[in-house]
Structure formats: structure tokens, C-alpha cells
Amino acid sequence: MNITLNNRPQSFEEDTLTISEVLKLKNYTFKMMVIKINGVLIKKDKYNSAKVNNGDDVHIIHMISGG
């Protein structure tokens, strides 16, 4: 499938993936994130169930301390 991840095109061999699987494949090990699929907020307890499908617009925003 082809998706948009953080405004950039991204391809995966799989037809569908959960958020947890995307994080694993992308090697994202951030402790704290804000994740949206097509504008819908996905909270941490849904990472194992929320599906990413072909054409989806996914944002994974890394929370970084400092201010």
C-alpha cells in the first residue's frame, strides 16, 4: 500500500497495518507521540487496533521536551 506519512509518500509491502506495526517497521521508538490517521486522533490504547490502509494520510508527531 501507499500512504502519506508526515507529508511524505511512504510504501509498505503489506495491504494494511496497525499503528503499532507501522511504528515497528519505521523503527519509531518515541516514548510520547501524537498520531492522526486522516485527521482522526489515535490514542495510545488504540495503537494495536487502529488500521492504516492504502491512501491514508498519517501523521506521527514526536513529543519533545523543551520550552
Partner 1 sequence: MNFSQIVKKLKNKTVGIAGCGGLGSNCAVALARVGVGKLIIADFDSIEESNLNRQYYFHKQIGASKTASLKENIKLINPNTEVEAHNIKLDSQSIIEIYKNCDVIVEAFDKAEMKQMIIETVIDKLSQTPLVVGLGMAGWGDNNSIGSRQTENLFICGDEKKEVSEQLPPLAPRVGIVANMQANTVLEILLK
Binding site for partner 1 (CB under 8 A): 7, 31-34, 36, 39, 41, 43, 59, 61-67
By beta-carbon proximity to partner 1, the closer residue of 14 and 30 is: 30
For the bound state, the minimum distance from the C-beta of residue 15 to partner 1, rounded and expressed in Å, comes to 25
Residue type, 25: L
For the bound state, the minimum distance from the C-beta of residue 57 to partner 1, rounded and expressed in Å, comes to 8
CA dist 43 to 9, 12, 47, 49, 60, Å?
23, 23, 7, 11, 11
By beta-carbon proximity to partner 1, the closer residue of 25 and 61 is: 61
d(CA 36, CA 38): 6
Q: How far apart are the first and last CA of the chain?
A: 38
For the bound state, the minimum distance from the C-beta of residue 61 to partner 1, rounded and expressed in Å, comes to 7
